[in-house]
Every structure is written in structure tokens, then in C-alpha cells.
Structure 1
Amino acid sequence: MSSPSLATPLNKTRTADVKPIRLQLDPIRLHEPARSKLSTVETQRIMVVFDDLVQKMELIEMLPVIVSHADLFKNVIDTETMNEVYRHEELKQAYETNSSIRTISNIIEKLPQFENYTRRFDQSLSYNANEKIAYHYYIQQSIRNVLRRLLQHNRFDAVKLILKNNNLLPPPKDLMRVLKMLRDSAMERFLTTPLEEREKVDQMKNLNIRLSSNEAVIAKLEKELSDAVAERDAEVSQTLGIFIFLN
């Protein structure tokens, strides 16, 4: 049985060896959270919404390419879904060319959400304004139908892979880039713990202090170098003057 006199120093030694828990983040990996998975249901739901929105935006940008190269997707997209895509593109082109909505009545009548567009007219607005409102309604419903059918059987990855393999992926627009940046920022924020956040702030402060200190040192060294060069040039000029005088 150990005596208290021996146990006390041993405990003190162990206590002294224990170091405070700190993240000790690598400055190069300063913005990489230690966690790789979201810990709460709420954050998981938010990221699902973000991912779903990004996926839908990418699909919308792909639709014109899908229509132009329909043969590439005959084994991936079923006939009915492809017909929905065709109808949507025709509807969009009619709107962009300011065609009367009556010229595409055969398209809008096939929409599941079809209703007589005159019912949506506001008597206080002009016919053109009312027609534009009706166009917006049908285009919204059409794109919803297309996206629902394409995403229903997880065709997104297959469609994107085909486009990528054939160098047909449309370049991302500014809105898509901003959306992806927001998504990545949200993911990083959700994965970062409060302790990591404090550590990052401290690291950034330390880096700023070191940067300012380094800039001061660099400025001092540059001045010393400039003075040394000027002094050397003066000595060379003086020596050259003496040499010329003696000759």
C-alpha cells in the first residue's frame, strides 16, 4: 500500500505534464474544420436544400445542351421526360421571341397545371402585360415538371457525366458560382466548432501581427541595403575621382 507522502508528488508530476487542450491549427489549413460530418439535423436539412438548389440550377443550364444533343441521352432519359424538355424549350423560345401565347396553346394545354390563361388576366393591366404574367406562370410550371422528372430517378449524375465526357458542360454562370460559394461557406460554418472558431480568430490575429512585424523588418533591411549601396557608390566615385586626378 502506497503512502500519502509518495502519492502526492506523483500526482503533482502528472498534473504538471498535462498540457491544455488546444487545436494547434496549421496556418495552411486554417479554414479546414476538424469535423467532416454535420452533427445536427437542422444543419443537415439546410445543406440538403442548398445541394438541391445547386443541382436544379445546374440542370436548368444543361437543358439547351440536352435538347441539342438528344441522341446522347436516349439510354438515360425516357421519351416522356424528353418530350417535357422539348416542350419547355419551345415555351421558353416563344417567350424570348415575344410570340403570342396563343401560338403555343398546344404546349401549355399538355401541362399538368394547365388552366385557361385568360383566367389569370387582370382587367386593370394591358393584354401584353397579362400575357407576360401568363407566360411566367407556365414557364415556372414547365420547369418544375422537367426538374421533377429528371431528378425523380437520380438522372442528374448520369446526364452530367455524359456532358462532361463529350465536353458539352456549359460554363457556370456568375449566379451559380456565387451559389456554390454560399453553399461551401455554409458547410464550413456548420462544421466549425466554437473552439475552432476562437482558435481561428487567434491564429488570424497572430498572423496579422507577424505579417506587420515582417513588413517592418523588410522595410528596415531594404533601407539598410539602400544605404549600403549608396555608400559603396560614393566610395567608388571618390576612388575613381582620385584615380583620374592622379593620372
Structure 2
Amino acid sequence: MATGQVSRVITEGIPAEPTLNLKLHMPQPPNSKFGGPPNKIRNKLRLDPSRALEPTRKKIATIEAQRVMSVFEDTISKAEIVTILPYILENKERFRVSLGAELSLLLDIHKNTVDSYEEIKEQLDIQLRQRRIRTASTEKSEGYGGHGMEDAGEVGETPTESPVPEAEARDYSRRGSMASVQSARSVQSVESYDSQTERTMRSLSLVAQQLSSSCKNILRAFLANPNALSMIKNQARRSDNSNVLIKDMCDLRDILLNKLLTTPEEERERMQYIQEVSKRERQNATVIEDLEQKLKAAMDEKDEEIKKKNSVIRKLQADLRQIEKFSDENNKRVTNEAEKQEQADLKNSEGKKQRLMTELNQLKTQLQNAVMEHRENEQELRRKKFRVESQVENWIQKYDTDMNERQNEYEEIDLVYTEEKKQLHELEERFKTLEAEYQQIMEERRVSREKREAAEREMALMVKAATTIQAFWRSFKVRKALKARKKKGGGKKKNSA
């Protein structure tokens, strides 16, 4: 009740903003006597069922609807600014350069006003809490005093019949008088608290008015400085409740836009479509009811089958119990046999243990003897090792001496080798020139020899050719002479004939 009074006082103290009074007329669903509606919704449903109830228009045509949407969008933008004010106040130093001097001053004033409002509200809550406590204690004391007076009146009316003595009656009357005095004082204190609470509530209403004016001034300043507003919106964070409020307002804007874009004809088509959907739903409900009955019959049949299977399961469980009983008996018999075998194995293990202990003692004796023998061998080996180490050390010293001598010899030989190598290098450098001259001379000799051989081959070839020509020429002369001789002999024969 006290909270309701506080909210009423706060709302009464805040001046009302001028609003645009518009009435949205919702079209009534069409009657069947005016003829059937067009099938646009039905055609749209065939194309895309999810867009069946969307309006065909995508832009607002009337000026009144545009004004309504602009006012609502302006309200959303102002709500977005107001919801980020707590974040701006917490990080004011961070945004001081972007805000400017005027906005910073307005935010300082707004912060002081918010602090005053919270302080006065806290005081009012404390006063209302104390008032409730006082009122409850007063009612309790009044009830206790009235009860005491009634008891005293009953005692005065029937002194002979009451079992309470006179001392207790006087005690009741004294308590009643004290309760009446306390109630009078509590009434006075409650009245004083009421006056103090009213003053606090008036102060709270004044601070609420100042807070409203401060918010308006900040909104005007932000609208005058859009750069700062855009930068802060990108960086600011809102509370979860503020985000929910903005989201709900955006959803409401979409609903309002949908209503403004919908024409009366589309509304009638939508109502007709909804009626058709309802009719289908009723038909589907009938089908569902029939299916549920069939399902119930199937469930009953399934329950019968389950009962039969349960009886089979019970029989199997009885067989299983018999098998378990038989297995328990078998397990007991096997356990008894295992216990007997364990006892026999235990006796055998005792004899084996004694035999092993005897062997262990013998082995310990052998171990001690072996340890003594090995210690003697170890001492002998240590002495031998010492002698070998001494010999090795002597050999190492001798090796070092020999190696030093060999190293000295090696160094002397290396010096001689280096000197001879140096001389060899000089001789090689000297003989390189001689070798080059030798190669040149040999090349010249080779060339001259090849020329001579070529001339000899050519001469031999020419001699052979000349010989061949002479041979051919001689044979030609001989053949020619023979032919001439034959001709002469033939002429002589003819002359003689």
C-alpha cells in the first residue's frame, strides 16, 4: 500500500508529455452473406506458408501512419539513450572529450539528481518500514490492552464465580491503563511519522521532476551532438533488463508496422484464412481423437500382450530361482571340497616348508663358505691387480719416453722433409719451363716427322702409280706391236697366194 502511494506521488509530480492521439480501427471479420473473399491468402499459402499472414505492401502510404511510426521510432531511440546513461555516468571520464563541456555538465547535474533521488528513496523506504513496525506494535498493544480490560470487566461482574483473586484483577486493570497510555503515545508517534513521510514523499516527487527535466535536457543535447551519440552507442553496454525493454519495443514496432501496412481487405482475407485454419484444426482434432481411440485400443492390446509376457517372465523367474537354489547347493559342495583340498594342501605345504627351510640352512652355510673363499680370491686378485697396474704404469712411462724420442726424431725428419720438399718445389718450377720447351720441341719433331712420313707416303704412292702406268704402257706397246705384226704376216700370205 505504501509503495502504491509512493508510485502515485511520483507519477503525479512528473508533468505529462504531449502525445499524438490516434485510434486504430481494426476491421471486423467478414460475413458469408457478402460473398466469398478472394483467394490471395490461399495462393500465398501455396507459394510460401510462412508468409501467408504478411501484408502485401512494404511501405507506409498514409501520413498519419508515418507520423505514428516516426513517433514510435523516436521513442525507441530516446529509450536507447536513456538506458545507456548509467554506463556513461560510470565511465564519464572516458567519454569526456567526446561529450563536450555542455553534455558533461548536464551529466554531472543528472548524476547529482540521481544520487539525491536514491538517497531520498532510501530514507522513504526506511520510514515506511518503521511505520509498518510501529503500526504492528500499536495494534498488538491495543489488542493486549482490550483483552486485559475485558478480563477485568468479567472479574468485576462475577466476583463470586471467578477463580481469579482480587490482586490479579488489580494487575489486569493496571496493565490495561498502561496499555492505553502506550497506545496514545504510539498514535502520536505514528502521526509524526506520517507527517515526516509526507514531507519525504513531496521531496521525492520534486526530485523526480528534476530527474525528468534532466533526462529531457540530456536527450536534447545528444540529439544536437549526433557524433558523440553514435560513438557512445557503439561502445556503451546496457543491463539485461534494458536490453529486454529495447527488444520488446522493437518487437512492438514490428507489430505496429505490420498493422499499419495491412489494409482492411487483407485483414478480411486474414480473418477468413484464420477461420479456415481453425476449421482444419477442428477437423484435425477429430482425426486426432479417432487416432487416440485407435491408439488406446492398440495400447490395450499391448497391455494384454505385456501381461502374457509378464506371466512368461514370472515362470522364467521361478525357473531362475530353482537354478539359483541348485547353483547355491553346488557352490556349497564345491566350497566344502575346496576347503578339504585347502587343508590337505596346507599339510603338504607344511612338510614342504620344513624341507625348504632345511635346504635354506644348508644353502646359507654354503653361502658363508663361498663368501669366505671369494674374499680370499678377491684379496689375491686385488694384489694381482696392483702388480698389473704397477706394470701398466711402468709401461706407460716407458711408452711416453719412447714416444718423446720418436716425436723428436719425427720433428727432425719433418724438418729435413720440409727442406727437401721446398727444394723439390723449386726444381719442379725450374723443370716446368724445361718441360714446356721439351714439349714444344717434341711437338715440332712430331709435326716434321708426320710431314716427312706424309711426303714419303705420297712419293711411294707416286712411284707405285708411275710403275703401274709404265706397266700398263709397256703392255699396251707390246699388244700394239703384236697386232701390227699379225697384220703384216696376213698381207704377205695374200700376196703369195
Residues 1:208 and 2:278 are matched in the alignment = yes
Residues 1:148 and 2:220 are matched in the alignment = yes
Decide whether the 8 Å contact of 2:120 with 2:204 is kept in 1: no
Alignment partner of 2:82: what SS? helix
Other-structure match for 2:44: 25
Q: Which has the higher contact order (CA 8 A, sep 6+)?
A: 1
Other-structure match for 1:170: 239
Q: How does the TM-score come out when normalised to structure 2?
A: 0.35
CA positional deviation for 1:66: 0.9
Decide whether the 8 Å contact of 1:160 with 1:169 is kept in 2: no
Residues 1:226 and 2:280 are matched in the alignment = no
CA positional deviation for 1:237: 6.1
Gaps of 5+ in 2: 1-37, 122-197, 316-497
Q: Letter of the aligned partner of 1:140 in structure 2?
A: S
Other-structure match for 1:160: 233
Distance 1:58 1:186 in 2: 19
Distance 1:169 1:131, change over 3 A: closer
State the percentage of identical aligned residues: 28
Deviations 1:226-245 (A, max 9, x none): 2134236547867998xx9x
Structure with greater proportional helix content: 2
Distance 1:239 1:53 in 2: 69
Computed over aligned residues only, the root mean square deviation of the Cα atoms, in angstroms, reads 3.2
Greater Cα radius of gyration, structure 1 or 2: 2
Distance 1:239 1:169, change over 3 A: closer
Deviations 1:166-188 (A, max 9, x none): xx222244665554444332211
Distance 1:219 1:152, change over 3 A: same
Gaps of 5+ in 1: 1-19, 100-125
Decide whether the 8 Å contact of 2:78 with 2:219 is kept in 1: yes
Distance 1:78 1:46 in 2: 33
Distance 1:137 1:240 in 2: 78
Other-structure match for 1:61: 83
Greater Cα shift, 202-211 or 20-29: 20-29
CA positional deviation for 1:160: 2.1
Other-structure match for 2:203: 131
Q: How many residues align?
A: 194
Other-structure match for 2:112: 90
Q: Letter of the aligned partner of 2:40 in structure 1?
A: R
Deviations 1:10-52 (A, max 9, x none): xxxxxxxxxx672433342234222221111111111111111
Decide whether the 8 Å contact of 1:81 with 1:146 is kept in 2: yes
Q: How does the TM-score come out when normalised to structure 1?
A: 0.65
Distance 1:151 1:83 in 2: 16
Distance 1:157 1:235, change over 3 A: same
